[in-house]
Structure 1
Amino acid sequence: MSYDPPRPAGRLLLTPEDREAPARVRRLRQLGLGERWDPALDAFADRLAEMAQAPYAMVNFLVENGQFFAGLHVPPVPPAGDGTVPEFARVQPRDHGFCPHVAARRRALVLEDVRDYPRFAGNPVVDTFGIRSYLGAPLIDSTGTVLGAVSAADVRPRLWGRAGLETIKATAVDLMGRIERSAADGLPL
């Protein structure tokens, strides 16, 4: 199986190496995830956006050739700029956004202003979608495999705080439990 290799910028690795890609892809296939969007995961992303009071929220699975947003909440009108922001597609390259960093770290990531971090400030979603803050937590299944992440993002700097961190972590654990119960029971989410 292949995956997009990390892209170095000088000596700074912008997209982390994904050593778990083959195991993750196998596990996603076992669970029937990562190939189609799911209305239940869109509803989950909608609730997450409401809880976080953020214009963007995602259930993101890191798939063989990039990222797949099986659950996605985007604003009906771009929240910043002149309205010419491109559509936020369900499939994105690995170097777009911050969920690959969450997966590589295997722990939550809080970026109150992405422009404060050279590693993240140059990410394509900053310029393309105007993303300025990010809150994400890994989706780790019972086998210890990181399948992806749940996240919220905003076009303005945000003080997510400890409450935001605890909420996103609890949200990830809750969703992973739902996914595994659904798969075990052979039922839809």
Structure 2
Amino acid sequence: MIPYGTGRPLLTPVDRDGSRRTARLRRLGLGERPDASFDSFDAFADRVAEVTAAPFSIVNFIDENRQFFAGLHTPAGIRGGSALGAAAAGRGGRHLARDHGYCPHVLVRRKALVLEDVCDYPRFAGNPVVDDMGIRSYLGAPLIDRTGVALGTVCAVDTVPRAWGRAGLDTIKLLAREFVVQIECREGGHR
């Protein structure tokens, strides 16, 4: 992919932990397909949207090849009106290519990322989610479990620029830590 006006490809960062992450996700029973427990992941995404006042939020597990929206919140009434909304329409549509969006960058960096207006950052402005999904603002943090593996991300996105600020950054990091506790509780239940 080539971002507008730069003439050079926008590359997804190299993920040196992909195989380790994929194995960990499989051991936890996450990231491949939805099951009954994923309703709690949707509920968590709803909570993220409420706390951040964002129209979209995602609990995203990322393996070597794709992203899986295990938890997804979209505004009522637009399920067919956008790519994120379309993903919410059915569980089968909850996958996204690994080179789309900003979560893979958060995952590899292992740090939260705030993009108040993605168009202000040439590195991110050319990402397909800008044109395909209308994403203009992103707030995300990695989900790093007790083993040190970054399993995915939790994020809030908007179709308009947002001044997330330091409060938004602190909030998304806190929500990520809270969700990791849910994963660890889930793991305890599978032993």
Q: What percent of counterpart residues are identical?
A: 59
Residue-by-residue CA offset, 1:33-69 (whole Å, 9 max, x unaligned): 1112310000000110111111110000002321001
Separation (CA, whole Å) in 2 of partners of 1:167 and 1:40 = 20
Identify the residue that residue 31 of structure 2 maps to in structure 1. Answer: 34
Cα pair 2:10 2:127 within 8 Å, conserved: no
Identify the residue that residue 19 of structure 1 maps to in structure 2. Answer: 16
How many Å apart are 1:14 and its aligned residue? 2.5
Residue-by-residue CA offset, 1:104-137 (whole Å, 9 max, x unaligned): 1000000000000011101111111111000000
User: Quick check: which one's helix share is greater?
Assistant: 2
State the SS of the aligned residue for 2:70. strand
Separation (CA, whole Å) in 2 of partners of 1:163 and 1:17 = 30
Q: TM-score, normalised by structure 1?
A: 0.87
Residue 113 of structure 1 pairs with residue 110 of structure 2 = no
Residue 91 of structure 1 pairs with residue 88 of structure 2 = no
State the SS of the aligned residue for 1:171. helix
Q: TM-score, normalised by structure 2?
A: 0.87
Letter in 1 for 2:24: R
Aligned length: 178
Q: Unmatched 5+ residue regions in structure 1?
A: 1-6
Identify the residue that residue 159 of structure 2 maps to in structure 1. Answer: 155
What is the aligned-residue RMSD (CA, Å)?
Answer: 1.9
Identify the residue that residue 184 of structure 1 maps to in structure 2. Answer: 188
Structure 1 stretches of 4+ with a deviation exceeding 4 A read 7-13
